[in-house]
Amino acid sequence: MTRNHGILFVVLSIFFLVSACGSDGSSEAKSIIKNQAAVTEDYVNGLANAKNADDVVGVIEQYTNGMKKLIPELQEFQKNYPEYKQGKLPGGMEADIKRMEEVSAKIPAAMMKVTQYMMDPRVQEAMTRMGNEMTNLNQ
């Protein structure tokens, strides 16, 4: 369950990182938060609807692939717009921010449902791959 909390932390960190960007790069920030919301929403909904270990593995792999694309965008954004720490939100992001907050609130329940499949070696392997990909965010 500790790995699940780590994944939750990374998802929320990405959300807060993107949502705290400065006014420069606002179109990039909007695109990134929109993509993050979509990837996270698909992940949470997929886990909530999983009927077996194969479903869970598929959802985790889909999320990992989405994050593989998103992480470099986030890293590039951080590099190009270090002023994100000022906490100013670009205008027009309210709906996406609300969507991300709603999706993020559902993560714990979805993860609890998945615990019944955590002993499956395929699920463990998929979780490990996802965790490894998430560590790239901090590099």
pLDDT in tens, 51-90: 999 999 999 999 999 988 888 887 787 777 666 555 555 6
- Structure token digits, residue 20: 């705290």
Percentage of the chain surpassing pLDDT 70? 69
> How would residue 31 be classed by pLDDT, with cut points 50, 70 and 90?
confident
| Cβ atoms of residues 114 and 50 within 8 Å | yes
Instruction: Tell me whether residue 49 is in a domain.
Output: yes
| Cβ atoms of residues 14 and 74 within 8 Å | yes
If 0-12 CB within 10 Å is exposed, 13-18 middle and 19+ buried, where does residue 132 land? exposed
Instruction: Tell me whether residue 108 is in a domain.
Output: yes
Cα(66)–Cα(20) distance, integer angstroms: 21
3-state secondary structure of 24: coil
Query: What is the average per-residue pLDDT within 8-22?
Result: 51
User: Is 80 exceeded by the pLDDT of residue 110?
Assistant: yes
User: Is 50 exceeded by the pLDDT of residue 104?
Assistant: yes
Domain count, the chain: 1
Cα(135)–Cα(139) distance, integer angstroms: 7
Q: What is the DSSP letter of 120?
A: S
Boundaries of domain holding 41: 26-137
Q: What is the DSSP letter of 92?
A: T
Query: What is the average per-residue pLDDT within 98-104?
Result: 84
**pLDDT score, position 88:** 57
Cα(79)–Cα(128) distance, integer angstroms: 27
Residue type, 127: M
